Amino acid sequence: MGRIAGVTAAETRERLLLAAVDVFARRGYDGTRVADIAAAADVSGGALYAHFGSKAELLVAALRTHGRQLLAEVLAADPGRPVTDVLLFIGRRLRRRRDARGYLIVEALTAARRDEDVARPMRDYVGERADQLADLVRTGQADGELDPSLSPDALAHFCLLLSMGSALITPDLHAVTEEEWATLLARVAAGLAPPSVSAQTGTAQ
């Protein structure tokens, strides 16, 4: 059940997840039927339900697998990169236009407000993102880049608000120049440094 001739179960699942990203982004969660995703993936409804128990499960699985995971990509490319540099690099990219993967988080967050079946897995997903960011903050604190008196969980929450909010306030709604945004982020990052480093930066300026 749920198998397509000549295609492995893993390939079928991946096909469904990619189709889900596209269909959810175009039609929204409420406007999407499970049959729409099965048709876009060129699989049967039975194949879909063999892998995912519900539309909500498919939405969060698509977000987890193919959502915009810039932090993970940056860390994988350069594990030794300074934490402040990582945060600034990601922050500078937030002002850019979203693709289908970027809009997926909007659909998931909106659906989670109305549907507890979506809210439950979304709490786990957001919690995982927050934990990853908090661990990154702790690394920066241990290396002397970030003020150790700051709450890693609070700073992670702040980063999540920026990241997920940027999916809602897109450049076509309100835009700032890259230079303006980078200058603001640099000022924020300087404020996160340990007091002695912040004082030295202020003196240098």
Q: What is the pLDDT of residues 37-65, one digit of tens each?
A: 999 999 988 889 999 999 999 999 999 98
H helical segments located in 28-115? 34-41, 45-51, 55-66, 70-77, 83-93, 100-114
Tell me the C-alpha distance between 70 and 102, whole Å: 10
Kindly state the tokens that stand for 204: 């240098």
Tell me the C-alpha distance between 145 and 79, whole Å: 16
pLDDT in tens, 118-144: 999 999 999 999 999 999 999 999 999
What pLDDT does residue 1 have? 39
Half-sphere exposure of 84 toward its Cβ, with a 13 Å CA cutoff? 18
What pLDDT does residue 2 have? 47
pLDDT in tens, 160-172: 999 999 988 888 8
What pLDDT does residue 99 have? 77
Closest by CA position to 22, among listed 77, 101, 75, 82: 101
Contact 56, 117 (CB under 8 A): yes
pLDDT in tens, 163-202: 999 988 888 899 999 999 999 999 999 999 999 765 555 5
- Name all domains of the chain by residue range, CATH numbers in brackets: 9-65 (1.10.10.60), 68-204 (1.10.357.10)
pLDDT band for 4, please (50, 70, 90 cuts): low
Helix axes 116-142, 55-66, angle to 10 degrees: 20
Q: Does residue 5 surpass a pLDDT of 80? A: no
Query: Model pTM?
Result: 0.85
